[in-house]
Amino acid sequence: MTNSISIRWLGHAAYKVSKGESHIVLDPFAPGSVPGFRDIAETAGLVLCSHGHHDHSYADAVALLPQGAPDFTVTTLGTYHDNEQGAKRGPNTVHVLESDGVRIVHFGDLGCALTEEQIETLKGADVVLIPVGGFYTIDAAGAKAVLDAIKPKIAIPMHYRTERFGLPAIGTLDEFLALCENVTKLNKDTFVVGEVESGVVVLEY
């Protein structure tokens, strides 16, 4: 379907969200900044970065299209990269993409609990992209608590480590999945909104 929304995992916390001719890349990482991932080279109408760290803000990885991404509206929520109100790692921006009533939430390097107001704003989102690895972000238990609070239809974990890739200090995907029910593992890097109705979706890199 030409009007469907696709979400392609580029590795780590980087994604390309597309609908028709509108493309948005979120949190592209700098070459060599995250072990095991290929360098990013994408074309999109918009680049969004949750914060300024090199593994989330390499906008040069994306060639910008002049038309932008008109099929999406983008809103933001201000959060922190740590649980000390940014004292350790600074601020973090949560991006909410919306198109035709479909809401996609990219949590960036969320490192703190959400406020009650933020929980209400995000409740029932269609898809959330959420860090689960801990150390720099919320950990597996913290991610599960966020999901229990906002109850999205689909949750896609990111910012974790496997034997093949990821920052050495962060936790594994298995630690998060052990807390979850209704897990669907796709043998591809792209999720099309609606192809799985609910639960946790794991993309293949």
> Which of 110, 121, 156 minimizes the C-alpha distance to 7?
156
Q: Is the pLDDT of residue 1 over 60?
A: no
| Architecture in CATH for domain 5-202 | 4-Layer Sandwich (3.60)
| Helix H or strand E segment including 18 | strand 14-19
Query: pTM for the whole thing?
Result: 0.96
In sequence order, which residues have a C-beta less than 8 Å from that of residue 187 and are 6 or more positions away?
204
pLDDT per residue as tens digits for the range 181-197: 999 999 999 999 999 99
Q: Would you say 125 and 97 are in contact if contact means Cβ atoms under 8 Å apart?
A: no
Cα gap 65→172, rounded to integer Å: 36
pLDDT per residue as tens digits for the range 25-71: 999 999 999 999 999 999 999 999 999 899 999 999 999 999 999 99
User: How buried is residue 94: exposed, middle or buried, by Cβ count under 10 Å (0-12/13-18/19+)?
Assistant: buried
